[in-house]
Structure formats: structure tokens, C-alpha cells
Amino acid sequence: MRTDLSPGTLPAREHLPAAAAGTPVLDVVIPVYNEEKDLQPCVLRLHEHLKRTFPYAFRITIADNASTDTTPLVASRLEAELDEVKSFRLEQKGRGRALRTVWSASDSPVLAYMDVDLSTDLNALLPLVAPLISGHSDLAIGSRLARSSRVVRGPKREFISRAYNLILRGSLQARFSDAQCGFKAIRRDVAQVLLPLVEDTGWFFDTEMLVLAERAGLRIHEVPVDWVDDPDSTVHIVKTATDDLKGVWRVGKALASGSLPLDRLTRPFGDDPRDREIKDVPKGLARQLVGFCVVGGLSTLFYLLLYSGFRIVSGSQTANALALLVSAIANTAANRRLTFGVRGRGGAIRHQAQGLVVFGIGLALTSGSLAALNAATSDPAHSTELAVLIAANLAATVLRFLLFRAWVFPDRQDTPSTVVASHSPSSPTYSTQQLPQNYGPLPQRTPQYTYETAQFRAGEAAHAADAANGTWRDATMQLQPVRPHDTDSRDSR
């Protein structure tokens, strides 16, 4: 997983301006592979619908995934006939690769995509992008599994879709209802920061993007859709399901290890100007107490089991010290991740060192209690020892929580100026700009970027002329980071 590629914390959401001269507000991407029959009627229907119903300027981008039929010719003809249609050619397959490439190069503030078969009713398009335009949400998805959705498809696909979403809920704790519907949108400022963290280049791209966005606290808007299955779909169900399960395992492992810098995707609390002074939503004391109590209860059981085991071969003081040391290390690691939400390996050694200081205080309390017990009676019962240790540990637990919250894992608000990616409508190259400090804290990390210049055929002679004029369809595009190994030989779609 790529762990250090995102530029920085997102600014607060804002309503897009009513008009942006020369820049389409919406860019709808249609990824295609060998769709010479369906491409033209799809684009014409979508173009007519947007012309008639969409109140902003728009663009339709055909992302050709290395088609081997006449799809590129159809795309070029549509581009020549319709001003709002552009074509984009990639020499490698993979729907995720196509979306990431085109979205990264687009200058539109709202980016969307839909499948070429137009299975989703287009009346859901405006409700899909409206929350993104208004600044209410970060991403939006069409859902075929919402209660008010109307869906026509066979029992096999229905079962696979619902089973897959149950897997996501059980393994990755996903709360969105439909990961696979080919009808999604994202704000460009979010895409610039989120897409570099998404590794998949195929059909799992959607799921990975949504899981990371949800875990980072971004707002995902769901729109119930009317959807009719395309009986001629060329998706390989078995291979897609296998690749998706591999992706679930990979993302789940990365989330469990805390290797993804999701804190870089956080937004400041509130969009009202009065809320801009609030650096972040304060962590709830109640939630931390619950997490600390759960971890503390499990740690106490673990400690007592260790003490009983060590007591067989050593004295009470030695057994207590060893059991408390081992359980304290486990307790600090668990509280670091689960109670105080610290992810990644940064500062782990320092936290453990501070935790050992807290352990020393607990050791003093429990050892003192045992010493007092031994002074009171020469041969105390094992049950009496355990009772005294439980009481001493309760006192140590209260003190441990206060020290953890105030010293080991404080809620720091110190923040330097923030650097985020920006994009000029007249050029697909990215620059950086300094944001005011009231946009909220950034983790102290220095991103390691790998930039490459990728050559893409964006059309024929018409694209070369556009490149000379500096318009969107530049033949050579500077894209936000491209991995050197960004090939997908397993993707046959």
C-alpha cells in the first residue's frame, strides 16, 4: 500500500461558485473497452440529458482502455461532432487506472463516472452531484440496495452483489450500501488527496476508494437509483470476485496495521466562518473512557493469567513485576491504537517508553499493596492476593488513564502551514500553495512523491491543435503520482 503520497489535510468544504468561466463544473468519465456498438448511443443520450437538465457547464470524457476494435474511431467522431465531448486514450487496461488518470488531469471541480451501458436512470445524476456542488459531501454514490431503489436483474447478480457488500461490512466495517454500482462522483479537491492512496487499477478501485474515504471521516452521499441489468455485460464475474477478495484482504491488512495516513484526509470542523477557529472536532472523553475500560478489562484478565503462571515458578513480587511488564506493553499498544486513535509507527517507541513510566507507577502501587499484605499476614491465600491486586489495579487504572490522556497521547493542536495540491484550469500540471493555518492540524510527516511524465494519445490531429492552444486535451500530461510498476497484467477487462 502507498502510505505517504497524499499532499495534506483538506480545506473546509465550500459551495462551488455559480459560474466558472471556461471550466466545466462537471466532468463525466465513461471508461470503455471495445464498446464500438454501445458508445455512440450512450454518449448521445447522456449529452442530450445534460444539455436539457444540468444547470452548469459540463464535459463528457471517453476514457478508452486500450480498445482493439473501432472504439477509438467512434470516440474521435463524437469528439469532433460535440463540443462537450472529449476522448482520452490509454494503452493499458483497467477501469481504476482510467478513472485515476482522467480524474487526476481534469480541471472540473466535480468528477463523476458511469458505465457505458447506462444501466442507471440518468434522472439520478443531478441528485448525485448536487451535494458535491453545494459543499455538503465529499463523495456520492448510486445505490441499488437502498430500500427505495428499483432494480431489474437476475438472481445470480443480485446474490453476488449483496454477498459482496456483506463481506465489506463484516471485514472492513463499511457502512455504505453499494460499492459496485457504476455511478459515482467525487469533488476534485478530495480526489487530488485521496486517489494517490488508492492502489487498485481494476474493478476494486471503487471499493478501495470508498473504504479509505469512509475511514478518513469523509462524507459519502448515497442516492437510490433505478437500475436495469445489462444482459450483454462483459464483466468476468469469477475473476472479478477473486480480485475483489484479494483487495479486501490487502486493504484490511493495511488498515489493521495503521500504515495508511488517513489523518491527512480530515477536514476542519464546520464550514461556517464562525467554526473556522475550531482546529478539529475534540476527541470525546466518553468514547475514550469506554475504549480504555474495554482495553483495561482485557489487560487485567491478561495480567492475572500471567501472574498466576509466573507465581508457580517464582515469588509474588517477581511474578507481579513480570506480569505487569508484559501486560503494560500490550496495554499501551492497544490503547494507542483503539482508545486514542494513533495510527502508524511514528512515535511508537516514545509512547512505549512513556507507558513504561506509567507502568512503574502501577508497579509501585501493586507492589506496595502486596508488601502491606505480606506484612499483615505471613502466608496469605492466593485468592486474597488476587483481591488485593485487583483493588490496587483499579487505582492504578484511573491514574493510568489520566496520564495517557494528558501526557502519553495528548490531543495536540500545534500545526504548521498546510501544503495541498492545486490545479490550474489552463494546464494539467500541479503546483503547491500555502493555506492559512486555520485549516486545521497536519501530522508531522514529509510526503515522499514519485512523479513521472506519462505520454497518452489524446486523439489525432485535433488534439495536437488543442495542445498548442493550451486547452484541456494536452497530448503530454503531468499526472499526480504514477507508480513505476503501474501495470496490471492480471486485468483482462
Q: Span 433-447, mean pLDDT?
A: 36
At 9, the pLDDT band (50, 70, 90 cuts) reads low
Residue 20: what pLDDT? 52
Per DSSP, helices labelled H in 216-284 are: 237-257
pTM of the entire predicted model = 0.57
pLDDT tens digits, residue range 407-439? Answer: 888 865 443 333 333 333 333 333 333 333 333
pLDDT of residue 319: 87
pLDDT of residue 290: 79
Give residue 468's pLDDT band: very low, low, confident or very high (50, 70, 90): very low
* pLDDT tens digit sequence for 369-378: 888 888 888 7
Q: Which residues pair with 26 in a beta bridge?
A: 58, 110
Q: What is the pLDDT of residue 5?
A: 43
Cα gap 466→475, rounded to integer Å:
9
Which residue did the predictor score with more confidence, 483 or 35? 35
Per-residue model confidence (pLDDT) at position 137: 92
Q: Cα–Cα distance between 114 and 185 in angstroms, integer?
A: 9
| Between 469 and 48, the higher pLDDT residue | 48
State the Cα–Cα distance between residues 345 and 257, nearest whole angstrom: 9
Determine the longest span between alpha carbons in the chain, in angstroms: 98
- The share of the chain scoring above pLDDT 70, in percent, equals 74
pLDDT at 276 exceeding the cut of 50: no
For the chain, give the mean pLDDT.
Answer: 76
pLDDT above 80 for 331: yes
Of the spans 86-100, 244-258, 347-361, 394-408, which averages the highest pLDDT?
A: 86-100
Predicted confidence band of residue 8 (pLDDT cuts 50, 70, 90): low
Q: Give the pLDDT of residue 99.
A: 94
The residue-averaged pLDDT of 16-25 equals: 71
What pLDDT score does 372 carry? Answer: 87
How confident is the model at residue 261, as a pLDDT? Answer: 79
Q: For the chain, give the percent of residues with pLDDT over 90.
A: 27
Q: How far is CA 312 from CA 309, 385, 387, in A?
A: 6, 14, 18
Residue 28 DSSP SS3:
strand
Per-residue model confidence (pLDDT) at position 51: 94
- Band of residue 232 on the pLDDT scale cut at 50, 70, 90: low
Neighbours of 91 (CB within 10 A): 11
- Residue 29's pLDDT is 96
Residue 74: pLDDT band (50, 70, 90) is very high
Is a pLDDT exceeding 70 seen at residue 463? no
**What value does the mean pLDDT take over residues 312-338?**
85
Residue range 140-195, pLDDT digits in tens: 999 988 888 888 877 877 888 888 888 888 888 888 888 888 899 999 999 999 99
pLDDT number for residue 428: 37
Look at residue 303 in the predicted model and tell me its pLDDT. Answer: 84
Of residues 334 and 271, more confidently modeled: 334
pLDDT of residue 19: 55
Q: CB within 8 A of 215, min separation 6: which ones?
A: 255, 260, 262
For residue 391 the three cell numbers come to: 483493588
pLDDT of residue 275 exceeding 50: no
The runs of H, that is alpha helices, within 216-315 are: 237-257, 285-313
How many alpha carbons fall within 13 Å on the CB side of residue 334? 18
Please give the single-letter amino acid code of residue 298.
Answer: L
For position 147, what pLDDT does the model report?
84
CA–CA distance, 397 with 406 (Å, rounded to integer): 14
Distance between CA atoms of residues 346 and 178, nearest Å: 34
pLDDT of residue 284: 62
Kindly report, residue by residue over 45-73, the tens digit of the pLDDT.
Answer: 999 999 999 999 999 999 998 899 999 99
CA trace torsion 316, 317, 323, 328 (10° rounding) = 150
Look at residue 406 in the predicted model and tell me its pLDDT.
82
Residue closest to 396 by CA, chosen among 320, 334, 339: 320
